[in-house]
Amino acid sequence: MCGTSHVPREGLWMIKIKTFCLQQRLNFHRILLNIDARKDNSRQTIDINMFKSSINNKTGDVMSVALGKPIPYFEIPATSGLVFTPTACQGRKVVMYFYPKDSTPGCTVESMEFRDAIDDFTKANALIVGISRDNLKSHENFKRKIELPFELLADTEETLCQMFGVMKMKNMYGKQVRGIERSTFLIDEEGVLRHEWRGLKIPGHVQDVLKAAIDL
């Protein structure tokens, strides 16, 4: 004897709701993100027309990077009112330098050295971004004060710091404090991590990164 299954009214509503949510998520992921990183009066600019979201990590777990592997997807607010994502930079090499804090002596020197080498990095098809845990207001002030021609990412939630494994215990004035270990990462045009410098010393570092970017 053939029969028909009966789906409770509540079940139908749940199916409809789940279907709607799935459609909304898929539609959102069809949004295209387009970045035009170009040289303009010795500046590197990022023009973001739309944002693209990722569904790779719904659990909230932070994925980690590894040499020779693609960088996990992320979205981080940046200066100039932008949102930075790795997929937006495909076709360009990316230099991501992590520094402890805006407007401190060492971080100022390092950022200015990247600034002064901007033309050479641009010729090497490399985009530069600086990253710290400072908020956007602090970043904008820092960027304006020393006239940085590239964007700074505000990793206030330590998403990138955890992903790249740069948070360390450091000795400052005889006390152990948790902070960013000065580090730089070079990503190729396909979004694959190719070089990393951890616990680096500032003198000569920018030239080392530039040489690696040219040779990549």
CATH assignment at residue 156: 3.40.30.10
3 found inside a domain: no
Q: What is the per-residue pLDDT for 138?
A: 98
54 found inside a domain: yes
Name the domain count of the chain.
1
195 found inside a domain: yes
Return the structure tokens found at 73. Answer: 């997807």
The 3-class SS string of 147-216 reads CCCCEEEECCCCHHHHHCCCEEEEEECCEEEEEECCEEEEECCCCEEEEEEECCCCCCHHHHHHHHHHHC
2 found inside a domain: no
137 found inside a domain: yes
Which structural domain range is residue 44 located in? 9-215
Could you give the percent of the chain with pLDDT greater than 70?
71
Catalytic residue flag (residue 161): no
Tokens 């090497």 label which residue?
Answer: 124
Q: What is the per-residue pLDDT for 44?
A: 55
1 found inside a domain: no
180 found inside a domain: yes
For the chain, residues with pLDDT lower than 70 are: 1-62
Given 2, 21, 89, 107, which residue is catalytic? 107
Q: What is the per-residue pLDDT for 45?
A: 47
